Structure 1
Amino acid sequence: MQNEMMRRPVIKPAVLNFLRQQTTQLSGPLGELEQQAHEKGVPVIPHETVTFMQTLFNLKQPRNVLEVGTAIGFSASLFATCMGPDGRVTSIDRYPLMLEHARENIDHLGLNQQIKLMAGDAADILPTLTAGYDVIFMDSAKAKYLDFLDDCLRLLTANGVLLIDDVLQGGTIFDAPETIPHRNKAIYRKLNQLLDRVFSDSKLVATLLPLGDGVLMITKKL
């Protein structure tokens, strides 16, 4: 299990080094979890995305967050920590091993009262959820992002923010189709369809942030 995203950022190395090494670092057990994940190549959000999330949560003051793709529970724990004891995070993952690691980490961090883990396919779970999430973070199978989009927009509050991680594939989604390896063609096609859909929808306001392997940030037009 390796975190490819960490090896294919879309900004200059000097800028990346500053964002990952010189900005404020996490402390305590959460900082230790982040460091261990990076050392082992475990897929967690890079530090430039961490600091962005901290800033966003400070501005938005969300109370209810949904995450699609739990991994080892790092980002869910970050969100819960940013929100404080009154905040709630619901996180969905289909892989039992990831959920096992996530439960262990969340328990160790003392955040099990704030974070609810849901086991199963997001395609089955999302339609059963009720709207009211202030922030939704999608960090799962990239070829499924477009399939999950409508449900995530439905679940988002009027002033909420939808964040979709790792949408650039190291910038290769802008390459000519014939240059894309066969194994990546479905992701290439789906991510391009996602961008086309989001940026052509008059009901949405969106921007593409060069954090990690690209974060797509979407809000509903008021």
Structure 2
Amino acid sequence: MGGVTFDYMEKYLRGLIPDHQGMLKELEEYSIDNKVPIVQKETGRFLELMVDLTKPKRILELGTAIGYSSILMSVASKRNSKITTIERDKEMVEKATVNIHKYGFEDDIEILEGDCLEIIESIEDKFDIIFMDAGKGHYNHFLPHCLRLLNKDGIIIADNVLFRGMVPSDELVKRRKITIVKRMRTYLELVSKDEELITSVIPMGDGIAVTKRRGI
């Protein structure tokens, strides 16, 4: 198993998804060549689907890396979404900025440099989609702020919530990852047990949790 599904399932499911061309393909190849993590193929397709379904006007992303998922979501929205993305790694901010300008997304995507928790504490805007993909051990700390920033019918999409299969299985937990695993379990318990929220955890990619407020 490479992630949270059996290898043969992962291979089959990825084979169903058409390969990207052009700029997204270039970014994917860069991530492989330079060992920079980006969303897995099936996770990327899920983001495209969610953006197409919900037609968000504003998207907040926690964790920019090279700008791949921001550009992916902007393309999926047909550039009708304004995206704010937060990244603390200066090198990644510089690379993402280059990519966003190279492919002409500077009017659609804004990068905020700094610690995600510190920045989201100061944000007042509302968002239709919030995509968590940074600070895997801090999702539970991000949650209250994300709920404050989430529009009434908005959704939170959290990536890597099963974290290489370690979150559901003590047998797979590596000692140096114990803190991350415990905190991710806390996050999943918070969004699953809160009666005002409804959450579905999907064993896709490295695990995705989709959360929204319950309708009244």
Same fold at TM > 0.5: yes
Alpha-carbon distance, 1:16 to partner: 1.1
**How many residue pairs are counted as aligned between the two chains?**
215
Aligned-residue RMSD, C-alpha:
1.7
* Mapping of residues 1-222 of structure 1, within 5 Å: 8-176=2-170, 180-222=173-215
Q: Secondary structure at the match of 2:118?
A: helix
* Structure 2: runs of 5 or more not aligned: none
1:11–1:210 CA contact under 8 A, matched in 2: yes
Q: Secondary structure at the match of 1:173?
A: coil
Alpha-carbon distance, 1:168 to partner: 1.0
1:65–1:133 CA contact under 8 A, matched in 2: yes
Q: What TM-score, normalized to structure 1?
A: 0.91
Amino acid at match of 1:45: V
Q: Secondary structure at the match of 2:128?
A: strand
Q: What TM-score, normalized to structure 2?
A: 0.93
1:65–1:89 CA contact under 8 A, matched in 2: yes
1:149 and 1:134 map into 2 onto residues whose CA distance is: 15
* Structure 1: runs of 5 or more not aligned: 1-6
Alpha-carbon distance, 1:165 to partner: 0.7
Q: Deviations over 1:21-72 (max 9, x none)?
A: 3312222112221233234432000110111111111111111100000011
Give aligned-pair identity as a percent. 31
Amino acid at match of 1:190: R
Alpha-carbon distance, 1:139 to partner: 0.4
